[in-house]
Amino acid sequence: EENGHQNKKLKSNADEEDAEDQNKRLPKRKIVLLMAYSGKGYHGMQRNVGSSQFKTIEDDLVSALVQSGCIPENHGEDMKKMSFQRCARTDKGVSAAGQIVSLKVRLIDDILEKINNHLPSHIRILGLKRVTGGFNSKNKCDARTYSYMLPTFAFAHKDHDVQEEVYRLDKETLEKVNKLLACYKGTHNFHNFTSQKGPRDPSAKRYIMEMYCGEPFVRENIEFAVIKVKGQSFMMHQIRKMIGLVIAIVKGYAAESIIERSWGEEKVDVPKAPGLGLVLERVHFEKYNRRFGNDGLHEPLEWTEEEEKIAVFKEQYIYPTIINTEREEKSMANWLNTLSIHDFNSSAVGMQANNKNSKNSSDLEGSDGCDDDSD
């Protein structure tokens, strides 16, 4: 019996070694992976090599790639060896339903299943496509779409509306929100919506294609709404500040004229909405698709077949995390209490004192990490 058991063990070890040798002989191919994840508890997407106390999504991904046998171990330690590139560096606590990473892998059998077997359930690889050898998911991306899910009491007027979860958004207020969000469309100087960019920095100019708030819906007795924004690229904190400023106007803390003023050279105090609720929805490769999508060798980077899987993942992992965290930690309610600290009429001098006061309350949220192209 013992010998039989030992023989079985030796055979399974030999099988594993055979599979590994076979994997090593497979040519490496450039692919993209479609990823979805719930970002709670992670310090963003991007791996911080040598900083193991801050766990990132890429730490878990690279580990699964090595364990599944589609990349050698040394490629996990030096990601340049597999030409790894993520499309967006989502930051602390931010989730994604349609993140794209490009890399070179060995195309092993049942590759998606094998990678997913080594990932926690709140990180999934939902699709894979072959791409051109020189493809880089960050550089080839023409646009990114984010969503921001928030409780609608964020839009309750500070003086004459109930501020709690019983609040329900009326049609007129939703129209006002959408009128303000539409002001962001086009190319503007967003230096006031990020840190470390001056008004004359050319990279502070960003192009927004669309921005709107959808119809409200109730989950667990709280009414929520989802804001969608599509832009060429975003800087760190930009989306959260764009939303924060609209909330400040709708609540009655700031005049509508502040949006126009924020694009000028003057420093404007723009509040930053909480990180919870921000989701990278999808990334767009329109130019690449036109050039290579129908060349007979490559597929267009569209994910219509995966739409259902994406929707199921959001319902299972992303929305419940946002709703439950909002209920337990009240991040939006606590942040709304800090709006009165901001001086929306101030110049740069008056702002410094306010920034010190509000730092403790607003900076704990972590950044949204929409800093795809930030320097």
Q: Which pLDDT value is given to residue 211?
A: 98
Rounded to 10 deg, the angle between the 238-250 and 171-182 helix axes is: 140
Q: What is the rounded distance in angstroms from the CA atom of residue 371 to the CA atom of residue 350?
A: 28
The rounded percent of the chain whose pLDDT value lies above 70 is 85
Q: Measure the CA–CA gap between 138 and 372, rounded to whole angstroms.
A: 8
CA distance 242 to 104: 37
Any idea how long the chain is? 375
Q: Average pLDDT of the chain? A: 87
Q: With 70 as the cut, is the pLDDT of residue 351 above it?
A: no
Confidence of residue 345 (pLDDT cuts 50, 70, 90): confident
Whether residue 238 contacts residue 206, with contact meaning beta carbons closer than 8 Å, is answered with yes
Every domain of the chain with CATH number 3.30.70.660 lies at 143-286+296-345
pLDDT tens digit string along 71-106?
A: 998 887 888 889 999 998 888 889 999 999 999 999
Residue range 134-147: average pLDDT?
94
What the block records as the tokens of 238 is 């930009």
Specify the pLDDT at position 363: 36
Q: Which of 40-54, 268-282, 348-362 is the least confident region? A: 348-362
d(CA 14, CA 8): 10
Q: What would be the CATH architecture of the domain defined by 143-286+296-345? A: 2-Layer Sandwich (3.30)
pLDDT, tens digit (0-9, with 9 covering 90-100), for 288-301: 999 998 888 888 99
pLDDT in tens, 192-236: 999 889 999 999 999 999 999 999 999 989 999 999 999 999 998
Candidates 355, 343, 362, 340; CA nearest to 158 is 340
Question: Does 364 score more than 50 pLDDT?
Answer: no
**13-17, 43-47, 213-217, 218-222: lowest mean pLDDT where?**
13-17
Q: What is the pLDDT of residue 365?
A: 35
Q: Where in the chain is the domain with CATH 3.30.70.580?
A: 25-140
φ/ψ of 364, rounded to 5, equals: -70, -15
Label residue 7 by pLDDT band (50, 70, 90). Answer: low
Note if 91 is an active site residue.
Answer: yes
pLDDT at residue number 341:
94
Q: pTM here?
A: 0.85
- The arithmetic mean of pLDDT across residues 259-272, rounded, is 95
pLDDT in tens, 159-168: 989 988 999 9
Catalytic residue among 59, 60, 91, 368: 91
In the predicted model, what is the mean pLDDT of residues 249-265?
96
Q: Where is the binding site for substrate, in residues?
A: 146
Whole-number Å distance between alpha carbons of 56 and 7: 41
pLDDT of residue 4: 64
Q: What is the CATH number of domain 25-140?
A: 3.30.70.580
Q: Quick one: pLDDT band at residue 369, thresholds 50, 70, 90?
A: very low
